[in-house]
Chain A
Amino acid sequence: MGRKTVLHDLHVALGARMVDFGGWDMPVNYGSQIEEHHRVRREAGVFDVSHMCVIDLRGPGVRSFLSRLLANDVGKLWKSGKALYSCMLNESGGVIDDLIVYYQGEQWWRVVVNAGTRDKDLAWMRRCASEWQTEFSLTERSDLAILAVQGPQARSRVASLLETEDQEPALSLGAYEARECGLWFVARTGYTGEDGFEIMLPAEEASSVWQALNAAGVASCGLGARDTLRLEAGMNLYGNDMNEQHHPLESNLAWTVAFQPADREFVGRAALERLRTAGVSHKLVGLVLEERGVLRAHQRVIVAGEGAGTGAGTGVGATASEGEITSGSFSPTLERSIALARVPRNAVGAVQVDIRGKLLPARVVKPPFVRHGRVLVDL
């Protein structure tokens, strides 16, 4: 039996199909994953992501600690309530985890990390804190549940459940901003490519809030739909699209690495600078399958070499090179199969994917595939 969130019994009562997600017993869907996906794109849905790990960091030393710990620069966080997406790297530039850090004041920062990496993340943070002799407290908030309410109608429907005096401030949060509303921590963040809130709240309130959201027209959604939504949104999944063996520069995450200011020393910086100077050989791209079928993680991507297909008279094909799909699925919005794939840097346009021994044509595109309900790639 896996670990359970506080909402487990409610999921079962709502008819969820429960499966193992990294040691947690979680709802994959409540009937139809595709319907849940569409509800989020078109209206609003709620996901239980209480298996993720909330860590509060308090004390005067937090800013300098995070400045050294994270590849993105917490120096960008100066206004209370702002949040930042970042990778946490090891010394070789590999990704230990990706996370969101919420800045609530110089003495209080909140970090949310992935469920499957919680133990190694906490161990790494504690080790760095002790090595760097920074002074602060680190508290895992297992007393909180996390509800991700996502979709074009999500914010207004959440607001209807808030105290009157909290409604306007919550609705005026900008993207990647958060505030406390009573005992709730309401953040305008998410993992679906739609607008919405992620709410961290006392675990004992979670079931009644979930049911109130259902009553307000917010559909219960499983982690299956969460995965197809994030894939359409071109958002990486830790463990699939990047990990300790794959650094941000080959994972479409260069935008999250703050090399400026040049004098900020962060873990992994030296390694990434060496890689950048030497030239990064691979990149993470989007793929759209041109035929029927479904792209899946670990399928082989065949990229024609330079000059391939031009028949330059040698009779010898130019060297083809290979890449690999890191995440793939059927896209309910595009009604096509899409994927993220790590391919050689020169790959553009047409490629082939090996699906059970058959080579099917696919096309390299720039993610995201879908944002805010709109399709962003040519079909």
Chain B
Amino acid sequence: MSQVPAELKYAKSHEWARLLPDGRVEIGITDHAQQALGDLVFVEVPETGRVLEAGAACAVVESVKAASDVYAPIAGTVVEGNAELAATPELINQDCYGRGWLIRVQPDSHAALDALLTPEAYAAVLASAEA
């Protein structure tokens, strides 16, 4: 069973979003996603300043098996990419909700977070996919 932390919001495409105390939003991929991908070996994050539309491909994570796009769960401007992932992409496998975060964005609107899936709703998405 994959972990779905209660304090985060989720997208159907298996990204999570965390509201940080300073108002920025941290984005990563879920435990389900990292398990499905297997060992990650390469991560491409967008440059700082890039403007993201909600639902647009914003990063690429590659496992030994395949490359997958990561979609921005909300619209905003990239303020930071996780530089550690260039040398240690396996952080996503080891700690996908912590040190394996992908990007931090300044959201266009905080209201967009409310439109994302709650942990319960995301867990239901996983359950129906596995059924």
Contacts and interface: CB of A to CB of B under 8 A. Distances in A.
Counting chain A residues whose Cβ lies within 8 A of the other chain, the interface size class is 10 to 19
A294 B41 contact: yes
B62 A294 contact: yes
Contacts of B93: 32
Contacts of B1: none
Contacts of B39: 32-34
A28 interface: yes
B38 A330 contact: no
Which of A33, A228, A332 has the most B CB atoms < 10 Å from its CB? A33
B20 interface: no
Main secondary structure of the interface of B (DSSP, over half): mixed
Interface in A22-47: 28-29, 32-34
B35 A28 contact: no
A293 B60 CA distance: 10
A356 B60 contact: yes
B6 interface: no
A28 B62 contact: no
Nearest to A228: B64
B67 interface: yes
Contacts of B36: 17
13 contacts: A17-B35, A29-B38, A32-B38, A32-B93, A33-B64, A33-B65, A292-B42, A293-B44, A294-B42, A329-B64, A330-B64, A332-B64, A337-B42
Interface of A: 17, 28-29, 32-34, 224, 228, 292-294, 296, 329-330, 332, 337, 356
Given A17-B35, A294-B67, A330-B42, 13 more contacts: A17-B36, A17-B38, A28-B38, A28-B65, A224-B38, A293-B44, A294-B42, A294-B62, A329-B64, A329-B65, A332-B64, A337-B41, A356-B60
